[in-house]
Chains A and B, each alone.
Chain A
Amino acid sequence: MFPPVPNPGTEATDQTFGAGDLMRRSASKVTPPAERQTEVAKLIDVSKCIGCKACQVACLEWNEQVEEIGFNDGRYENPPDLTEHSWTLMRYAEYENPETGNLEWLIRKDGCMHCEDPGCLKACPAPGAIVQYSNGIVDFKQENCIGCGYCIQGCPFNIPRLSKTDRKVYKCTLCVDRVAVGQGPACAKACPTQAIVFGTKAEMTEYAQTRIADLNSRGYDKAGLYDPPGVGGTHVMYVLQHADQPELYSGLANAPKISGLVETWKSGAAKYTGLAAVGIFAAAGFLHYLVNGANRVSAEDEAKARDLVEGDRT
């Protein structure tokens, strides 16, 4: 058993990281700390996952989210998709393995991958709406969010969700408030079978190798670690039985990289070109902010901020 994180205390203690540890900040220049914090990572071992949704409930409970009660649409996914409240979701795929003739129920916990090279942050025009700490956590700051939805388009994993209520975008924080006091994310703590474990990225990478060896011994020759280089690696990684076919796992991106659109913005293309491409949903958000002057940010400021994306990491 991978040693679990000790129980939390109730006495206030210092946070182990904060503003001084920002490595990136959307639409802003930051000077990263001289010394980077140890990178953290969550490892999701799909082969140990029983699809119980404890992670979903623990996430809702810890983050005090009130999700809608939906319907059954003939699938196990509930809610049917990620939402502004449900920052993680179990996705279920029934796969008939042509090599063995056996049915495999591939159950993957979906949610933010906390990319080393975060497309959401790079796409974000609102200063400080998305931040990245030097330990690898990518966090959304709703107070700075302008609801434009660019991050949604910028994300190669289709993770952030815009709230219809407050026009802000939400996603997994990797329980930044827990990690800051030495705890692991709520989902990892709850996970009954340790399909989710949390530690330093180095530990998780090493631990994954033992899991891969176990899977190899059970006939999964192509088992491997999903830590895609196209986004600089991730701070949420998967152990997959079929690492050569990530798409089997409810469409997990094979070789994800940051959308070309983000690159377009970076190169300073006219904003309306970009706007047309991001689609109606994001455009609605963008118009909303133009009309209502969200957060007192002018279009000019936004354009400036967008230019900053290019040089956000010194």
Chain B
Amino acid sequence: MTNNWTDIQNADIVLVMGGNAAEAHPCGFKWVTEAKSERGAKLMVVDPRFTRTAAVSDHYAPIRSGSDIAFLSGVINYLLSNDAIHTEYVRNYTNAAYIVGEGYGFSEGLFTGYEEDRRAYDRSSWEYEIGEDGFAKRDMTLQHPRCVYQLMKAHFAAYTPEMVQRISGTPEDKFLKVAEWVASTANGERSMTIMYALGWTQHSHGAQNIRSAAMIQLLCGNIGVPGGGINALRGHSNVQGITDIGTLTASLPGYLAMPTDAEPTLDSHLAKRAFTPLQENQVSYWQNYNKFYVSFLKGMYGRNATADNQFGYDWLPKLDTTYDALKMFDVMHKGQTTGLLCQGFNPLMSIAYSGKSVAALAKLKFLVSMDPIETDTAYFWQNHGEFNDVDTASIQTEVFMLPVTSFVEEEGSLTNSSRNIQWKWRAADPYFESRRDTDILADLFLRLRKLYDDEGGTAPGPIQAIDWSYADPMAPAAEEILRELNGRALTDLRDAEGKVVRRAGEQLAGFGEMRADGSTDGVQWIYTGVYSPEGNLSQRRDNSDPSGKNVYGSWGFCWPANRRILYNRASADPDGKPWSEEKAYVFWDGQRWGGADVPDFPPTSNPSLRTGPFIMTPEGTSRLFARGFMAEGPFPVHYEPFEAPVLNPMFPAIRGNPAARVFDNDMEIFGDAEEFPIVATTYRLTEHFHYWTKSVRYNAVVQPEFFVEMSHALAEERGISPGQMVSVRSHRGEVKGRAMITKRLQPLQVDGRTLHYVGLPLHFGFVGQARKASPVNSLTPPVGDANAQTPEFKAFLVDVTPLADPVA
């Protein structure tokens, strides 16, 4: 989230699209109902299904799954063609004025540089024209034919309301009402927040869905302002924190990068990431990348990391290629993986194409499940009839199921969707023989290290180099680890005048104190400050709100630097004055930046320097034109899902996202619309959390069994009655469930034909208290977003047929 949960109350318009906040995040959603009741805000919901969020909305517009870009591009076209944009914001705070090089172009659905055999682009033509001063050229009048603003007008002109209706199935009037309400916020006096979740990410063009939304927010001037923002409602309780830590194939903590084969030395890695501003007076945290990286290495390897050995850079594994979750299962399926540790992770349920997942798991030599509860994955080898029909005896995988403490039996910090790091205190003793994750991993690590110490083996060096100097090595304390994440001074730190600003051994108060010479450590620079010399700030429980703007700045610690709204400098105009009294948030008082929040800006940077508010980018502005940062192009384009019920109405020759990865032989696992004419989308129910609560009795009581949501029209066409068992088949598998026939789903008119769709809740499996079901991912295709590799769970093709009820 750029903004935060409580800030939603400052919104005038709330758009929930690609998500279902009332069901998936009910307690965060209260800030929507508060915005409605306290300030008369309007809620609009765009979703294939009339959800429980739609139930409390002021306007609902249906949309075909997988066509969000067409819809959002239609909104962009509406804003541009009606000049309903926040012009000064767009001119100064986006790259609308930047001039794109002559080599750039777009035709027949493809940008310049496409290489079909690689399913990838040479992105070099997607760049600005650079002037003689070394900075990117701009035309602040926005008139230059190759300035981003003019390119956008041309690119989005095709997305008329008629085209939106043709592609997305959204009736024109319902679409236009959304566009008008969006436009009502393009003025600095009103703001709109956009709330989304996996309904946008789980597509082969997921990242571009979100970019489209961000572009709308930028055109309206809704980024960096209270009640605005582009707000990803994150799923797991600490998925933000675990993403920050970077247990992802290509990540280091704090969004630093894993080294690759092409970066044989620390210097070569750092040189690639040097900060080159594209305008005068631009600043960025990233200019300190080397300080963060060396402090990380000092945290990882302690005293073993020295200037002489590149601070231990060689010990870090180097990536040959990325192994995202889909790729991991593809590699495993090829028999190239020996062992898998699953920590609070149930991949058999959560990875696309369960049939392939089971076959992949069966090729492992061993599998370890570390979880408080039994998972379907841990039982993948057990035959559960139609729900998991495997030949147990033939599966040679050794499986361990280790009991782990539940959330109340341990203490520690978690980072919520608003980037707020909050401490939880232990409330109970470990149940049964369960142990904390950290103790299990410490045990495993120390056993392995001892084996290498005692017996030797391949490459013991990297293991022996790790700093494990915890007070109790077998049981590192959570407080101790959070201090390690924060970082400290290793020697006395002096300022330019030689004055000691931080004594050796003291915790660092902010990432600005980090050094690149090995005199500081701290593995998670963005968290620095959470465990400052003042103590553990994640434990702060001061819920006062002096500004009255729902900021709560003394509750926990928000990264970065306890900032609650990102890019908040943009809440003021270029001279530093708030755009409006109503939305005043962070402003220049003549000497300093101040206001309700920690400014996202150098605190004494005079507005006359014209340093841009988006200090993470070398432009200092946000990017309407993404340059080379997106795999499938600098502007969003409507591409169909890989399994689509129609040919792409705009570019019929293109199947799916042309830059999305398709594994070898996987093209043939896609079904076609002739055999599978119905669009399916998977979704969450408010009564359940992923695959956990099927093992929680209360939740099994209030939502006991898998079902298939469909319209009356589809039920009638297929002869299905309410509550009847139906079969849902895709080209990859089958699930069975009871029919829930509802007015909340209606057939859509798409590209001249009537289109049916079904909704499939994802929570059910063969382990737990709830009724058994086949994993819904038996049906889904293992193709992911071209940038993030998030699987396309939200739009695929199935057929639905009634079954004879087993119960007479």
- Interface residue ranges, A against B (CB under 8 Å): 1, 47-54, 56-57, 60-61, 66-76, 78-79, 86, 94, 96, 102-105, 107, 192-195, 210-211, 214, 217-218
Contact = CB atoms under 8 A, between A and B. Distances in A.
A217 B770 CA distance: 43
Given A68-B701, A103-B60, A94 B742 contact: yes
Contact of B55 (A1, A79, A107): A107
A61 to B, nearest CB: 6
A78 B29 contact: no
A291 B742 CA distance: 48
A211 B37 contact: yes
B687 A72 contact: no
Interface stretch (B96-104, B389-397, B646-654, B702-710): B702-710
Q: Which 5 A-B pairs have the closest CB atoms?
A: A74-B723, A192-B26, A74-B722, A72-B705, A105-B55
B700 interface: yes
Contacts, number: 128
Contact of B26 (A52, A56, A66, A74): A52
A188 B36 CA distance: 20
B802 to A, nearest CB: 13
Most buried by B among A1, A56, A60, A194: A1
Given A79-B701, A94-B744, A96-B743, A214 B40 contact: yes
Tell which of A52, A71, A79, A195 has the most Cβ of chain B within 10 Å.
Answer: A52
Contact of A1 (B34, B40, B706, B740): B34
Contact of A192 (B27, B687, B740): B27
Interface residues of B, number: 47
Contacts of A86: 701
17 contacts: A48-B37, A50-B56, A53-B703, A66-B697, A67-B698, A70-B705, A71-B705, A72-B704, A72-B771, A74-B739, A78-B701, A107-B55, A193-B22, A193-B26, A193-B29, A193-B30, A214-B40
Contact of B22 (A52, A66, A79, A194): A52
B38 interface: yes
Interface string B743-773: 1100000000000000000000000011100
Contacts of B744: 94, 103, 105
Interface in B25-75: 26-27, 29-30, 33-34, 36-38, 40, 50, 52-56, 58, 60
A54 B703 CA distance: 12
Nearest to A76: B740
Given A73-B723, A102-B60, A105-B744, A50 B707 contact: no
A35 B52 CA distance: 44
A50 B701 contact: no
B27 A105 contact: no
Contacts of A211: 37
B738 interface: yes
Given A71-B705, A107-B52, A210-B37, 11 more contacts: A49-B55, A52-B687, A56-B702, A69-B704, A70-B701, A72-B737, A73-B723, A74-B707, A78-B702, A193-B26, A218-B58
Contacts of A193: 22, 26, 29-30, 33, 56
Q: Main SS of chain A's interface residues? A: loop
A210 B698 CA distance: 34
A66 B34 CA distance: 34
A1 B38 contact: yes
B705 A50 contact: no
A218 B44 CA distance: 13
A53 B700 CA distance: 12
Contacts of A105: 50, 52, 54-55, 744
A50 B723 contact: no
B237 to A, nearest CB: 16
Point out which of A66, A74, A210 has the most chain B C-beta atoms below 10 A from its C-beta: A74
A193 to B, nearest CB: 4
B776 to A, nearest CB: 14
Contact of B52 (A52, A67, A72, A75): A52
Contacts of B22: 50, 52, 193
A72 B763 CA distance: 14
Nearest to A102: B60
B699 interface: yes
B704 A192 contact: no
B178 interface: no
A61 B54 CA distance: 28
Nearest to B32: A193
A103 B743 contact: yes
A69 B54 CA distance: 28
Interface string B723-740: 110000000000001111
Given A105-B55, A214-B40, A94 B707 contact: no
Interface centre among B22, B40, B769 (most CB of A within 10 A): B22
A71 B707 CA distance: 10
B179 interface: no
Contacts of A52: 22-23, 26, 52, 686-687
A6 B33 CA distance: 21
Given A52-B686, A193-B26, A214-B36, A72 B58 contact: no
